[in-house]
Amino acid sequence: MASHRRPKPPSQARTTVLTATAAAAVALSAQSASADPLPDPNKKGVEAQIDRLYEEATQATEKYNGAKERAGSLQKDVDSLQDAAARKQADLNGLRDRIGAIAAAQYRSGGIAPSVQLLLSSDPDAYLDQASLVDQLSAREVSDLQRFQSQQRDLLQQRSQAATKLKDLRDTRTELESKKKEIQGKLAQAQKLLNTLSAKEKARIAEEEERANRASSRTDLGNESSASSRAAEAFAAAKSRVGMPYVWGATGPGSFDCSGLTSWAFKQAGVSIPRTSQAQASAGTRINSLGDLKPGDLIIMRTDLSHVGFYAGNGQILHSPKPGAQVRYESIARSGMPFMWGVRI
């Protein structure tokens, strides 16, 4: 397979999206966070607090992503159950019409026979146990009654399931809103702290960010091959996004959070993987040693599994790291996040 040396950087318009200052990048557009490195223990004061807030925001983002995925699944379940219940109700209405026609005909001829009373009974099961009454029904009437009973039970069950799913959906949407507020609150706090820094300090932070981007553009990835063609395709897709901004909850193609990048990249390779870093951690074959990883394998970071990226070769990770950053290559050893394990899809 061809060399994995880092390809030519994308256009200037893309690579300068968030390099003005780290503060400007956190400018809370109602989006922004999901995979920040742990605070550097050498940093002090305000910067350490900002790093901590970024970390907490990115951890909350993965929880938000999970809740959003659950909400989508629950909505599909609710829609399916409600559609099935509507169809079932239409069938029951048709059966009631036939039973009503029998009752009307018998009433006009001198009264409703026990057989029709059976059909109209609120407890037809009890009547069916009485063989003498069943004998008075035609085969068609018995069939209609049995079908009515079965569909009525199914309808009640579907309505009960739909009600349960609706409650779960409401609870999940409440969780979504809570996580969204938490993320925005963390980022607002970080912005407030950034605003307390002097112009010189802000310029230094911006230069550090730009230096990381320049280092990414010079990364030597070595010549390792991917473990599979699908991993190679996903990795190639992710490489095409270098320079794109980190945005919390984003799944591309112009911005990403950490798991948004990996799930989007595999989708380009025709492979569906879970949305969140925690779910992606068990989406394939687990690789416990860094030395056994191949380009395109997923890398799971942090003890709570709240960060994910691609192994890029030569000890590098390709990821969307944090608020105010771009999709880029970084040394795993210097990322500040503990490596947990790799995942081969």
What global pTM score does this model have? 0.69
Q: Is 224 helix (H, G, I), strand (E, B) or coil?
A: coil
Q: What is the DSSP string of 70-94?
A: HHHHHHHHHHHHHHHHHHHHHHHHH
pLDDT at 112 over 90: no
Q: How many CA atoms lie within 13 A of 22 on its CB side?
A: 30
18: confidence class by pLDDT, cuts 50, 70, 90: very low
> Which entry of 68, 275, 319, 344 is annotated as an active-site residue?
319
Q: Per mean pLDDT, which range of 107-111, 148-152, 269-273, 332-336 is the poorest?
A: 107-111
CA-to-CA dists, residue 63 to 23, 180, 245, 262, 277, angstroms: 24, 10, 20, 16, 9
CA atoms of 195 and 109, how far apart (whole Å): 90
Q: Would you state the pLDDT for residue 150?
A: 82
Q: Catalytic residue among 6, 63, 88, 307, which?
A: 307
pLDDT of residue 105: 57
4 assigned to active site? no
Predicted confidence (pLDDT) at residue 23 exceeds the cutoff of 50: no
What whole-number distance in Å separates Cα of residue 29 and Cα of residue 184? Answer: 9
Domain ranges in the chain are 34-197, 224-345
- Catalytic residue status for 258: yes
For the segment 323-335, the average pLDDT, to the nearest whole number, is 93
Active site residue 319: yes
pLDDT at residue 27 above 80?
A: no
Both tokens assigned to 34? 């999901």
Alpha helices in 16-44, H assignment, sequence order: 22-25
Mean pLDDT score, 320-324: 93
Residue 230 has pLDDT above 90, yes or no: yes
Which residue in the list 35, 60, 155, 258 is annotated as catalytic? 258
**Banded pLDDT at 22 (limits 50, 70, 90):** very low
Mean pLDDT on 124-137: 49
Tell me the average pLDDT across 40-50: 72
Pick the CATH number of 224-345 from 3.40.50.2000, 3.20.20.70, 3.90.1720.10, 3.40.1380.10: 3.90.1720.10
Exposure b/e, 82-104, CB count within 10 A at least 16 = b: eebbeebeeebeebeeebeebbe
